[in-house]
Amino acid sequence: MSYLSGKDGSITYNGVKLAKVASWTLSSQVEALEVTSLEDFARDYTPGLKTASGSCTIWMYDDAATALLSKVIRTDNPTDADKLTMTLGFGAKSVTFTSMITNAELAMTVGEVMQAQIQFSVCGDMTSVVL
Amino acid sequence: MAVILGNSGIVELTRSSIDETFTSDVNPSDVNPTKNSFSFDFPLGQLLTGDQLEIKATDGDTLDFITGWTYPDGKWFINVDPVGGIRLYEDFEGAVNGEITGRVDLQLPSRDIPIEVKVQNSFARCLAEVTEFELNTSRDAVDVTEIGEEFRQQFGTLISGSGTIGCFFEYQQNPCGSDGSVTPELALYMHQLVIRQQLGSEFKARLYLVRRGTGSGVDFDDEVWYEFNAWVTNVAIAFEPTQLVRSQIQFVTNGLIQLKVKTASNYLLQENDDRILLERNQGTGYLEVEQQE
């Protein structure tokens, strides 16, 4: 057993490992639908839909971020073909899902290295979860 | 190998106000031809005795409050008295000493003259009685480590500098410099600079690590110095019984920092590419060269 840190992380999309990734995050939620009834003494819930979304930061180094940026920053219209199979890895574990890039942000700042900020939403259920 | 000692360093300052200007008017009532002084509306303390002012008439007409001056602009050194009266001089030494001799003659102007004033010095002077100086240059390093890596990776970005100058506090010029050298800047100027609000506290500095004619084992003509523009950010002074009063000046550099090295050859090159060692039997000799046609 060992602790995990940034050196154990990775992002793979469509089978290709993404280079120059500085960070990633994943946030998953389950809706809580309230089913509290009269005479109950505590609120009660039943599970609703699952949602998940996340983000990653990529150093702008050669074409490291191009594949993800081009899903949003583009001249033509996005289609279902733009959905990605994405795997967020941490050590020997990983979460795999189909995702859609929803936000791509570029920023250039004096004294800082340029980064691309990517946000994505998970489409449908997770494909594989090893926690 | 030469050993460089601390006594080879000097600090050379050039007064500056970047491109900040004042605009005002010189009215006939502002000029006192008897005392050759004049004034205009400026915050007290912004113009300092010894500054070289570039005064320009913004209406394009002549600066006719200066006797015999037929141009719309000109540069003079100034002496500012405690109530804001300004006297013009052709040289720095006269201005800092406030002497009557050398004072530019003024006359009553025939109109209200709109003027633009800029501190525009081009002469470098040594800062007097410096006991120490320090310059730190640093380059920002941005962490560009990516996930999956085991060692940090850094990327160098901006370069910045800061430092301190320590000197004995002095406020009065000695009009009879024993060594005949150029009148130096005094610590008082740095104290005035840091509280100069509207024109800023910028100065141009050269910090000499090796200067001409010093250092055993160093060629006579060698010079090594840092050159940069800087802002005075902090000036401190403390009084203690039995201790000499010192000024501590802190600054941050502004823009380019240059480390210049001048190693003039001490050899004479012959036509056949051989070299002859140029020897001197005294430190301050010079060569006289006559060009043949």
Residue B63 and residue B170 share a domain: no
What is the pLDDT averaged over residues B124-153? Answer: 89
pLDDT tens digits along B270-288 = 777 776 666 555 455 555 4
| Same domain assignment for residues B151 and B64 | no
B149 contacts A22? CB cut-off 8 A? no
Q: Check: CB of residue B45 under 8 Å from CB of residue B196.
A: yes
Quick one: B176 and B245 in the same domain?
yes
> Which among B120, B137, B165 is the end of a domain?
B120
Residues B190-205 have pLDDT tens digits of 888 888 776 778 888 9
Q: Which of B147, B157, B158 sits opposite A10 (nearest CB)?
A: B147
Do B95 and B131 lie in one domain? The reply is: no
Final residue of a structural domain among B93, B120, B147: B120
Q: Do B138 and B207 share a domain, yes or no? A: yes
Whether residues B108 and B181 fall in one domain: no
Q: A25-75 pLDDT, tens per residue? A: 999 999 999 999 999 999 999 999 999 999 999 999 988 899 999 999 999
CB pairs under 8 A between A and B: 42
Q: How confident is the model at residue B48 (pLDDT cuts 50, 70, 90)?
A: confident
Residues B91 and B151 both lie in one domain: no
Q: What is this model's ipTM? A: 0.71
| Mean pLDDT value across residues A75-98 | 94
Q: Is residue B45 in some structural domain? A: yes
Asked if residues B115 and B23 have their Cβ atoms less than 8 Å apart, the reply is yes
Of B149, B150, B158, the CB nearest to A111: B158
pLDDT tens column, B84-134:
889 999 888 888 888 888 899 999 988 899 998 888 776 788 888 888 999
Domain assignment present for residue B8? The answer is no
Say which residue the tokens 């949602």 belong to.
A51
pLDDT at B178: 45
Q: Residue B131 falls within a domain, yes or no? A: yes
The CA radius of gyration of chain B, in Å to the nearest whole number, is 24
Can you tell me the distance from the alpha carbon of A100 to that of A82, in angstroms, rounded to the nearest whole number? Answer: 7
The total number of structural domains in chain B stands at 2
- What's the rounded mean pLDDT across residues B154-176? 84
Is residue B3 in a domain?
A: no
Contact B168, B48 (CB under 8 A): no
Domain boundary pick from B120, B138, B154? B120
CATH of the domain at B203: 2.30.110
Interchain pair B148, A24: CB under 8 A? no
Residues B164 and B281 in one domain: yes
Q: Is residue B7 part of a domain?
A: no
Q: Residues B146, A11: contact at Cβ < 8 Å?
A: no
The verdict on B226 and B159 lying in the same domain is: yes
Taking residue B116's Cβ as centre, other Cβ atoms within 10 Å add up to: 14
Please classify residue A42 by burial: count the beta carbons closer than 10 Å to its beta carbon, then call 0-12 exposed, 13-18 middle and 19+ buried. Answer: exposed
pLDDT at residue B77 above 80? yes
CB-based contact B148 A22, cutoff 8 Å: no
Q: Which domain holds residue B179?
A: 126-292
Q: In terms of domains, do B68 and B102 share one?
A: yes
